[in-house]
Structures are given as structure tokens and as C-alpha cells.
Chains A and B, each alone.
Chain A
Amino acid sequence: MSKALLYGLLLSILMVSAPHADHLPPWVSALCAALLAWRAYLAHSGGALPMRWLLLTITFASVGGILIEFRTLFGREVGVTLLILLTTLKFMELRGPRDAMVLVYLACFIIITNFFYSQSIPSALYMLATLLVTTTAWVHLHGQSIPLGGRLRIASVLLLQAIPLMLILFVLFPRVQGPLWGLPQDAFASTGLDDKMAPGSFARLSLSEEVAFRVGYAGQTPLREQMYWRGPVLWEFDGRTWTPGEAVAPAAPQFTDTTQPIDYSVTLEPHNKTWLFALDMPDRLSIPARLTHDFRILRKDPVKARLRYEARSHLGYRANPNEAKRQIQRALQLPPSFNPRTRQLAAGWRADSMDDNAVVRAALAHFSQQNFRYTLQPPPLGAHSVDEFLFETRQGFCEHYASSFVFLMRAAQIPARVVTGYQGGEFNALGNYYIVRQSDAHAWAEVWLPGQGWVRIDPTAAIAPGRIERGLSAAVTDAAALPFMARNPPDWMRKLRLNWDALANQWNQWVLGYDTERQFAFLTRLGMESVTWQKMALNMMAGVAFIVALFALFMLRHLFKRQPDKVQAAWLKLCRRLAKAGLPRAAHEGAQDYAARVAAARPDLADAIGEVAARYTALRYENRFDPASLQAFQRMVAAFKL
């Protein structure tokens, strides 16, 4: 086994295992790296491979270590760890082509396992590169004498030839819903909005540029300041933290006088929570879910895979105009003996006017006139957090404003609650959809007014209207604290990011999101009637057979078509030249006979014609055709001097 082949295999194994390094136990990564380095050294120095007993000891010790580490030998993590470890150990006993073959297969298998952890475009591209390296090593195994460039070319051609097969398999391989085909449930980490709100929680979230969900509008697009994506609704306040609290006996939401329907589809990134996001106020949903009394949408199970749903919302609405007494009571609860100055302020407003609307206006006016600042880095607050915020620091992020506003309302005997979710989003003209990021997380308030029901009031809009109209970076006074891309990136960078996101969106929709439903829809659109998995499987096999036959025909075409017409052309050219010189070849005269006759007539040409005839005979009648000797023959004919 040549060194070059060994290094190729080493590179391949190294490349396929590298992405696993950060989730393998560190000692396994270190052990594998050490073993590979050891093997590379042995290959370099030509030393003998380690003894069998040593390998067996390492194997049993490390499997024991894995058993201790994971306490099981089953499951994704353990499986991948074992696979990589044993593959590396296999390297230590790599002797013949058979072992090398096994390693190539193992490398291909490890490539698949990488997709358990990441299915993004960059990782797919990286896996393609590793596949190329692995295939090159494989080609090397079968053609030791092929130079590196040739091996790469063959491997690339092989991969290119695999593309039609890949497309057929991708489109037609029956997708079955169920755990067998799905990815492990823990494949996705979760970040995002929580159902608790304390000072600072939104400011932290606003630093994240991760995508929360993407939205495509079917018809009319609402104004940016109308895009309130409703998430958890928070009722209870303990003086510092807002929580949903215990829901009182669930009742159906009342939803009347709806206007301005908006249809859209949401592709939600997995967030490991049960709630879905929809525009205020949601009405209809394409997937099974529950609409709660306070207009949240809940699913039975946490969203652990990317989820796509269609929804309809109404921008104009009257929500629960006849709210139950118990709900009103809930929306007036305040923790006793906190924030006395705030209570006093609210009581003063209430004394001035019995009109709820006037109180709301007074509160908003208070925010806009008392020199409040909208900032990502508000000073820390003590026990009376609302008092301190309203009267001393006057610096806060959306959660401060929402929290203190609801507190003020409740203190003034107006039912109110905090609503969290996302506001706004970035439009991607390339894919014609909106990207809503974690940095778009927002908190606002709802007050219940008699006859009008729950009405959305966003106190942040009173202090920093730019936040609602243009986004976070336009509104905060200390934008420097935001991550670079959220601030004001150069135009080309923003465009690049949008392009990339559009691509990722297509990838999500069509590659990763190609599930049973999409498959059926796509095949129906292609004209397949009554799609069944049997039919898909049959079509798939037929398609694969067709492609393979096509390639086989292409590769075996020399069996059907003969190559050496160039040989004959060069020979006939020479014969014509000799004919002009008075030595025509009879049609039935073979090359050897003709050469002998020419040699007899022109002894000066004897050597040359003998050589040409011999070469011609070899090319045309012997089983030794190759382009190099054809070129030599053509040169010989061209150089023939009469």
C-alpha cells in the first residue's frame, strides 16, 4: 500500500471526523487525533504497525471509557462516538486493500452522521468536499498509477454522474412520517423568547441575530408598525418578574368586528416551546393547534423541528369585549406594598379623570414628556423596580416600558397585561419574505376597555417611535452595544446577508422541508396521478435504472462505434500522395503488400513506407489502439517525404 494512498485516506477520515470534534467527549477527540498522528508517523517512517494485543487493549479500554461516559451503548451520541473511535482504530491495522475499502465505506457513513448535527448549506458543501476527498482516495485504491490530478478528475466525474441519481432519489424516495426517517429529537438547540419577563431579558435577546421565523405574505402586506407577532401573554407580576400565571377556567376567545384580513405563512425555527407566533389577532391556522382565551396559539408538543404553517389574522378586531369578571380581576392584580410612588401617580391620574382613555393618554404622555430614554443598557434596578425606573433612572428597554405601563394601568384600576413576541422584521426582496430575528423580540401592553375589549398599547412607541417604524438600531440611543450586523452594516454586507438568507430559506423550504406533504404536492404538480409510495418506489427504481443504463451506454459507446477512422483517413491520405507519385494502391491491396510494392519501386522510400505500414497495421488490425500511437502515426504520415 503506497504512502500517498495512506495519506489520502488519513485526510479523508480526518475531514469527515473533524466536525464531530466539538460534540465528542474531549478524551475521544484527543485519542483519535493521537491515533491518526501515530499512523501518519508510522506511514512516514515505514515502521511496523502496533501489535494486535495493544490494539485490542486500546479498543476495550476506550469502549469501556465510552460506557462509563454515556452509561449506554445505544443512541446517537454514543453511536457516533463509537463509529469514529473504531474507524480510527481500524486505521491502526490498515494493511491491505481490503482494510482500505472498509475505511472508505466507514468514511462515507461518518459523512451521513454529520447531518445529525447540522443540515445547513455550509455543512452540506463541506460534506461534498469530504465526499470528493474520500472518492479520490477510493479511486486511488483501484488505480495506484493514476496521478493526483487524474484521480481528482475521475472522482469529480463520478460525483457529477451521481447528481441525476441523487435528484431522483431525493424527489422520489418515499418520505414516511415517523421516527424511522426523522432526525433525533434533540438534534436542534433552542434559543429565543421565554415566557418570563424580567428587566434585562429582552435587552439580552436583542443582541442575537439568529432567525426566529420567516414570513411570507400571500396577499396584502401590513405596515411595519402593524407587525406585532404575538407570543406569550403575561398576567402575573411579583414585583420583578412577569409570568403567565395560572389560567382561570379556560373560556373560548371572543373575536368580533374583524376587518383587514391578512394571509401569510410562517416558517418557524425550532424553539423547543409549545407556542406559535401569529400577527395580532390570529384567526385561522393550517395546522392543528389551540387558540387560548388570550389569543395565544399553543401546540401539543414543543416545536423541535422547523415548522411551516399558514395563518390568517385580522388587523382590525374587537377581542373579548365581554370579558369575564375573573379575567378582569386577574388583570388588576398587583403585588402589595411595592412601588408606592407609582401607585400614587396612577391614583392621581384616576382622580383627574374617570375616563380610561384619558388615563392611558396621560401615561403615554408621561413617558414621552419626562425625558425617558430607550436604551439597551439600562442601570440596574432595586426592589421597587417600577418606582426606580419611572422616577429615577428613566432609562429602559421595551420590557421596562411594558412592565411599568401595565403596572400603572393596574394601579389606576384599568385591566392590563403584558404581551411578548416580535415586532417588525427585515424584508428580503430577493425571496419576497420577511426575516424576523431574535433581535426583533419585543414586549408591549394590552388594556381592556369597556366596549372595545383588549386594545394594544405599545408604550415603547411613545418614547422611541423609530423602534416600531424602522427597527431597533434606528431607535436605541446606544446602538454601539448592538452586534455589528444589527447596527448599520454597509449596504453590500446587508445585501449579502439577505441573499444568503434567501438561499437558506429556499434550502429550508425545499431541501430540508421536503416532507410527505410537499412530496405529494410536488409529484401531483409534475403530473403523477394519485401518488402512493408504491408508485413512487417504482418510479424511483425505473428512474435509477434508466440513468444507470444511460451512463452504461455512454461508457460502453466504443463497443458500438469504432474509433480508428482517423487512422484510415491518415492512411488514405498517404495512399493518395503516393498515387500522385505514380504508385497507386489497388483497392484490394493490403498495407503490407502495398508497402512491399512501393519499396520495390522506390528503394529510397522502403524504410519509411515499411514503418508507416507496420504502424497502420498495428493501429487498425491489432487490439492495441491508443490515442498516443494514433498521434505518432499521424505525425509519421505528415512527415512522410516523397
Chain B
Amino acid sequence: MSQSLKNVIKQAEQIILGKPQQIRLALACLLARGHLLIEDMPGVGKTTLAQVLARSLNLQFQRIQFTSDLLPADILGVSVYQRDNEKFEFHPGPIFAQMILADEVNRATPKAQSALLEAMEEQQVTIEGTTRPLPAPFFVIATQNPLHQAGTFPLPESQLDRFLMRIQMGYPDAQAERGLLSGVDRRELIAGLGPQMESAELLALQQRVRQVFASPALLDYLQAILRHTREAARYTHGLSPRAGLALLSAARAWALLDEREAVIPEDVQAVLPGVVSHRLQAAGEYQKQNSDTLARELIEAVAIP
């Protein structure tokens, strides 16, 4: 692993205390060219994580606050008539940035949501008949409030699938919380962060992730997991082939973060909760389980071949 990547992790851990796993998952997601959905209560550091990553990786950062009156044009941009040269001129929206924090996506209407999600999927936007590519790297961190509030539009399963991972921040432990409370203001700290990596290096790392070796034995394991979700009675439906690909590329990124050239089952297990929790739904009597338990049970149910 490059020194700069280590520095990124170190820097993030200094600001987001007690959440090394979440930081690594977010980075793995970024390296695997996926998008991240963070689902948690307000005030647990979702925005901070996005800001820290954007700063450390020297990415253009844009934040879009999703509200119920948000229109697609507010995300994508709009053409405005210029009187001087008698032409329409395109004003790019906030989506034209390298890192987007889409805050509280479930508060916007499905129309606005899908404008974002389509851009995420296709790495380009088509506005008024013109296709415009989005910058690379392009990484979206969306946050979602899990509380069932009136006037929200939870993302449907098909849209959830667009996110490589869904993670939860969770409360900090006592020691981390003490550090948080006794330390300097986070906003000041973020302002003082320096870039640790150029975007060219990030693109090269994304390329290297694709070359991490997945042996036949590892693919056997991956397939065993997929088969189990499709055959076991406790899930409403099994994992899709796209979910399998997502699992593999996330595991590759994890292996790279672990400084390995090949994926091992532990990598798969590490990323599995993040990758499958928003794609799997417990059926019947298991519905009450939270998604973490579901993922852990899945890991324990499948023997490594």
C-alpha cells in the first residue's frame, strides 16, 4: 500500500475517533469505484467522514442537501439564456464534482433521487440532449436518516443496489467519545487538513484494485455465499449477480488496503456486511433481526471451501 494511502487513513483516524473500520470501508468503497450509503442518526460524523476524505484525497467536494422541494435541475445544472450573446449557457450543477455528499437523500422526492442515482450509475449526465461526462474519480456518499419520519421517501431496493456499500457509523465508544469531547473542534481540524494524494494516484489505485488476484478457491467461496442466500429460507430473495460482482470488487479493494495482491476469504467477510446488508431482506420470522446480525449469520452459515 502506498505511503499516501496510509497517511489518508491516519489523518482520518485522528479526526474520526474510534471508527477505523468505517474509515477503511469507506476507502475500500472509493477504491472499488463504488458509492457509499451511510445510514445513521444525525450527528454521528457522516458529514465529517466525507469532508475528511475529500480533503485528504484532494477531491473537489460538493454537498447537496436533499429536501422535499429539491428539483433535478438543482442537482444537475441548468441552461440559462444569456442576453449578451443571445445563447443558452449551461450552468453545471453541484453534481459536477469529484466527491458529492448527498445529505439525507430520503427527504427528496423520487424524481430528484433518481437524478442523482442515474448520474452515479452512468458517470455522466444528459441534460437537454447533451451528454456531459462527470469528473473522475467520482464518488458519492449519500446519507440517510433511518428514523421513520413523515414526509420521507425511503430509497427503493432497486435504487439501493446502486450503492456498493451501506454502512452505519454507530456511537463512539467511551474512550473515543472522551477524546471527542475534550479535543479541539472538529471543523477547525478539518480546515487544517492537507491533501495526501493527487487524484491521478487515486485513479491508479482504482486500476490496481482490478488487478488483485481472485483465485478459483476464492471464487468458490464467493459462489457458495451467493448460493446460500438464494437457497436459504430466511431471505426474501437471494443476492443478484451484480451483488456478487460488488462483493468481489469490494473484497479486492479491501485486500489492497491490507497490502495483499490476492483476495482471501477474510476480505470477503470483512466487506460482506457493508455490501449485502442493503441487498438482503430477512423473510418471515427473521424480519426483526437487524441487518448486521443477518450478515454475521450469513458468514457463519457458509463454510469456506
Contacts and interface: CB of A to CB of B under 8 A. Distances in A.
Contacts of A590: 264-266, 269, 304
B108 interface: no
A240 interface: no
Interface in B255-275: 261-266, 269
Contacts of A622: 213, 215, 261-262
A591 B215 CA distance: 15
A590 B262 CA distance: 14
A622 B215 CA distance: 6
A617 interface: yes
Contacts of A587: 302-304
Contacts of B303: 587-588
Given A562-B216, A620-B215, A623-B213, A588 B262 contact: no
Interface string B165-190: 00000000000000000000000000
Contacts of A568: 217
Interface in A126-158: none
Nearest to B216: A562
Nearest to B258: A592
B64 interface: no
Contacts of B302: 587-588
B84 interface: no
Contacts of A591: 264-265
A588 B266 contact: no
A592 B213 contact: no
B217 A564 contact: yes
B299 interface: yes
Interface string A555-569: 000000010100010
A621 interface: yes
A621 B304 contact: no
A608 to B, nearest CB: 19
Interface in B230-269: 261-266, 269
Nearest to B261: A622
A588 B221 CA distance: 10
A478 interface: no
Contacts of B265: 590-591, 621
B301 A588 contact: yes
Interface-central residue, B218, B269, B303, B304, by most chain A CB under 10 Å = B304
Contacts of A392: none
Given A588-B300, A588-B304, A590-B264, A621 B269 contact: no
A525 B303 CA distance: 60
Nearest to B300: A588
Contact of A593 (B215, B216, B217, B266): B266
Given A586-B300, A587-B303, A622-B261, A592 B216 contact: no
Nearest to B298: A588
Given A621-B262, A621-B263, A623-B262, A588 B213 contact: no
A592 B262 contact: no
Contacts of A618: 262
Nearest to B220: A562
Interface residues of B, number: 18
Contacts of B266: 590, 592-593
A564 B215 CA distance: 11
A352 interface: no
Contacts of A564: 217
A589 interface: yes
A587 B302 CA distance: 7
Interface-central residue, A586, A591, A593, A621, by most chain B CB under 10 Å = A621
A402 to B, nearest CB: 86
Interface in A576-632: 586-593, 617-618, 620-623
Contacts of A621: 213, 215, 217-218, 262-265
Nearest to A592: B266
Contacts of A592: 264, 266
A210 B215 CA distance: 68
Contacts of A562: 216-217
Contact of A623 (B215, B264, B269, B304): B215
Interface in B119-135: none
A562 B261 CA distance: 20
A610 B217 CA distance: 20
A622 B255 CA distance: 12
A592 B255 CA distance: 13
A203 B148 CA distance: 123
A620 B300 contact: no
A621 B263 CA distance: 7
A574 to B, nearest CB: 15
A78 to B, nearest CB: 58
B267 to A, nearest CB: 9
B299 A588 contact: yes
A562 B216 CA distance: 8
Nearest to A591: B264
Nearest to A618: B262
A590 B260 CA distance: 15
Nearest to B266: A590
A141 to B, nearest CB: 31
Interface in B200-235: 213, 215-218
A586 B303 CA distance: 8
Q: Would you list the 7 A-B pairs with minimal beta carbon distance, nearest first?
A: A587-B303, A590-B265, A622-B262, A590-B266, A623-B213, A621-B215, A621-B262
Given A588-B304, A622-B215, 17 more contacts: A568-B217, A587-B303, A588-B300, A588-B303, A589-B304, A590-B265, A590-B266, A590-B269, A592-B266, A593-B269, A620-B215, A621-B217, A621-B262, A621-B263, A621-B264, A623-B261, A623-B262
21 contacts: A562-B216, A568-B217, A587-B302, A587-B303, A587-B304, A588-B299, A588-B301, A588-B303, A590-B265, A590-B266, A590-B269, A591-B264, A591-B265, A592-B264, A592-B266, A620-B217, A621-B218, A621-B265, A622-B261, A623-B213, A623-B261
